[in-house]
A and B are shown apart, each in its own frame.
Chain A
Amino acid sequence: MSAWDTNPVLTIEHLTMRFGGLVAIDDLSFNVGRGDITALIGPNGAGKTTVFNCVTGFYKPTEGRIVMNRSNGEHYLLERMPDFQISAQAKVARTFQNIRLFGGMTLLENLMVAQHNPLMLASGYSLAGIFGLASFRKAERDAVEKARYWLDKTNLIDRADAPAADLPYGDQRRLEIARAMCSGPELLCLDEPAAGLNPKESAELNALLQYIRKEHDTSILLIEHDMSVVMEISDHVVVLDYGEKISDGSAAEVKDDPKVIAAYLGVPDEEVDTVEEEVGL
């Protein structure tokens, strides 16, 4: 029994997702360990993003159970919750493969929107806010401080008042992570955060993810194509191919799994050896 099975933050059991005749995920089960960085990898179209969409409530799974175990002991059955409650109550945040920022709003505003629920409460559902009560003003100051903290951590503080759409690509990716963190998540799901980054940005991202995991009560589940990133930072790797789990273990174990090599090279298992010889592995 591995470490991630003893005290998982997220448990996925027999998850199946069908789109008409297409089985995007087929009877998938795995655990995400508390405090771990878990990588979900697989070739294009393997169903990785679909797993994220099921976890965060954007798709309702055809079958299966997704349980979020919060650190305060509460359990949430995510497959039954509407998407916005998954973020608000179960404390699961996510980023998107094709970045989804509020482009016409400033970086600070983006991070303020992420703190909508606590601020809404503090503003007395806007009534206290309209009259500018002191309690709301304080809550707003705190929210700005939190935003400042994350802008600082993501090296975006200089452009805090610039519109998000004006940022270069790499900065947009980091801003999306900062925004997700501002909602105070216990599980952070990142969909290809290193896509399109240069090596320097990629290294910075690794450092940021390590920092988040260490300093905050946040476990990370990430989808990644860049193997060097996966090998370097992840404690646990789950490999998907055609919606099925083909491997599950530590980074070192998965790397040597012939099934994984076969899936990535696109050949049947029997021919793996010959192919490996050819490519000089």
Chain B
Amino acid sequence: MSAKSDNLLAVSLKDAAAGGLIALALFSVLIGMKAEVASGLGGQLGIEYRWVAVAIAVAVVFGGRLLLNLFVWKADKPVTETAGSFMPSAKMLAPLGKYAMPLFLILAVALPFLLLSAYGARGSRQYLDLAILVTTYVMLGWGLNIVVGLAGLLDLGYVAFYAVGAYSYALLAQYFGFSFWICLPLAGILAAFWGIILGFPVLRLRGDYLAIVTLAFGEIIRVVLLNWYEFTGGPDGISGIPRPSFFGLEFKRGEGGFADTFGLDYSSIHRIIFLYYLILIMALITNFVTMRLRKLPVGRAWEALREDEIACRSLGINTTNTKLTAFALGAMFGGFAGSFFATRQGFISPESFTFIESAVILAIVVLGGLGSQIGVVIAAIVMIGGFEFFRGLEEYRMLVFGLLMVVIMVWRPRGLISTRNPSITLSGKKAKGISADLVQEGHG
């Protein structure tokens, strides 16, 4: 026993020392020397040496690698495995899935009133704004879940459709003066249309190739928006986007406004509450449609596609069309969310549609559990809520955020809620969920 642990220590030390040496070689240049324009000397270029920083970096690499060697890589029982057992197990989360949906729904509907009574009109505004943001991401997550979770197509450029939706609304409103309620469906249709156009060439690819090409398309759309100055305003964006009205009643002070018609005192919070309910309803429609489709032949074909594409083709399923419907539908919901985003902000610019947005939405879907609707809700609350919550930490926020992701992935590698519910049962009863390790993730 002691011989073995001695040996382990020796091997680990050696490995850590090797890592430290490589780090020393790299960091002595990368960190150790900093090119600087010396101030006061007429802008001469000089080098500042930072050997202490190098020492710290090398020590961190050495120590970290030693610990990883001892406790994870070479250990009989990696801590990453034992750490999982301290957390609530998958079984405990399963009933949560059952009760969480109605609970979340009631909470979501009652939220504005709860906030109003707790913080008053002024104090609750920031919380409502946050709730709107979270719900927008829930909707985006649900939309992307169709593509990634159900059909198993890894789409890294989802934000493109969000952008198409937002810009469709803004441009239609600007050039034709359409109202929100006309633009909303148009924006969705345009986004779906783009989904199909992009999908045709792209969906022949599989796996990593699909991921890379969708990523590129996401960037292309953003770059076009950025550079087509005459049409989209380029980096200046589009401002003065009309606000939504309550079926024709505007949220304004005085005669004919929303507050006046309903005999309320005017308050700017009315519009915020309206926006909140608007996005909540849009998200719920997304969820409803997805849940219905999952039980229809097309939804089953998506899931079958994720499981085994070749078998699908042998059963007469046109896989290209099936993928396209998933892609277009996901794009459409992204477009709806985009036009909501435009009307909420009143101003959009390409900056809001960077790759990081796609990554955040994808992270929500993956953390929540591919294909799980309630998982997306929880992940969106944790991620977007957490993002705002840790705002005080400033640049360390990303670090905390990354750590959180690592912890979740160690604990539940298949996402928070990863059991799959059968779409139909012979017995008519609700069948047992299918454990995640049997379900394929899809190969693009």
Contact = CB atoms under 8 A, between A and B. Distances in A.
A143 to B, nearest CB: 9
Interface in B318-340: 318-319, 325
A102 B422 contact: no
A144 interface: yes
Contacts of A108: 422, 424-426
Contacts of A57: 313
A161 B422 contact: yes
B300 A126 contact: no
B407 interface: no
B314 interface: yes
A113 B434 contact: no
Interface in B391-444: 420, 422-427, 431-432, 434-435, 438-440
B95 interface: no
Contacts, number: 137
A106 to B, nearest CB: 5
A119 B297 contact: yes
Interface stretch (A12-20, A83-91, A229-237, A271-279): A83-91
A83 B317 CA distance: 9
Contact of A102 (B303, B425, B427): B303
B293 A126 contact: yes
Contact of A83 (B293, B314, B425): B314
A113 B298 contact: no
Contacts of A120: 297-298, 301
Interface stretch (A93-101, A217-225, A259-267): A93-101
Given A106-B422, A120-B297, A130-B292, A94 B431 contact: no
B96 interface: no
Nearest to A132: B292
Interface string B360-391: 00000000000000000000000000000000
A112 interface: yes
A85 B298 contact: no
B424 A116 contact: no
A109 B292 CA distance: 15
B438 A104 contact: yes
Nearest to A117: B316
A165 to B, nearest CB: 4
Contacts of B317: 84, 113, 116-117
Nearest to A107: B426
B72 interface: no
Contacts of A125: 298
A123 B298 contact: yes
Interface string B297-318: 1101101100110111111111
Given A103-B438, A123-B298, A129-B297, A109 B422 contact: yes
A241 B338 CA distance: 61
A93 B423 CA distance: 24
Contacts of B438: 103-104, 163, 165-166
A179 interface: yes
A125 B318 CA distance: 13
A115 B422 CA distance: 17
Given A106-B425, A165-B438, A129 B313 contact: no
B109 interface: no
Contact of B300 (A112, A163, A166): A112
Contacts of A165: 438
Q: Among B298, B311, B423, B425, which residue has the most Cβ atoms of chain A within 10 A?
A: B311
A158 to B, nearest CB: 10
B315 to A, nearest CB: 5
Interface string A141-177: 0001001100100000100110101100000000000
A30 interface: no
Nearest to B296: A129
Given A93-B315, A183-B316, A58 B300 contact: no
B293 A106 contact: no
A179 B315 CA distance: 8
A84 B424 CA distance: 24
A105 interface: yes
Contacts of B298: 120, 123, 125-126, 129
A40 interface: no
Given A102-B304, A105-B304, A126-B296, A112 B424 contact: yes
A119 B293 CA distance: 13
Contact of A144 (B292, B424, B434): B424
A104 B293 CA distance: 18
A41 B318 CA distance: 31
Interface in B250-300: 289, 292-293, 296-298, 300
A100 B308 CA distance: 7
Q: Among A56, A84, A88, A114, which residue has the most Cβ atoms of chain B within 10 A?
A: A84
B34 to A, nearest CB: 53
Given A100-B308, A119-B297, A105 B316 contact: no
Nearest to B430: A161
Given A116-B300, A119-B297, A102 B316 contact: no
Q: Among B289, B293, B420, B422, which residue has the most Cβ atoms of chain A within 10 A?
A: B422
A242 B239 CA distance: 71
Given A100-B311, A117-B316, A165-B438, A160 B304 contact: no
20 contacts: A57-B313, A83-B313, A84-B317, A87-B315, A103-B307, A104-B420, A105-B300, A108-B424, A113-B301, A116-B300, A120-B297, A126-B293, A147-B426, A161-B427, A161-B431, A161-B432, A163-B434, A163-B438, A165-B438, A179-B315
Interface of A: 56-58, 83-88, 93-94, 96, 100-106, 108-109, 112-117, 119-120, 123, 125-126, 129-130, 144, 147-148, 151, 157, 160-161, 163, 165-166, 179-180, 183
Interface of B: 289, 292-293, 296-298, 300-301, 303-304, 307-308, 310-319, 325, 420, 422-427, 431-432, 434-435, 438-440
A-B pairs, 9 with minimum CB distance: A104-B439, A87-B316, A88-B316, A102-B307, A119-B297, A160-B426, A100-B311, A161-B431, A129-B296
Given A126-B297, A126-B298, 8 more contacts: A57-B313, A87-B314, A109-B422, A116-B315, A120-B301, A144-B426, A163-B438, A183-B315
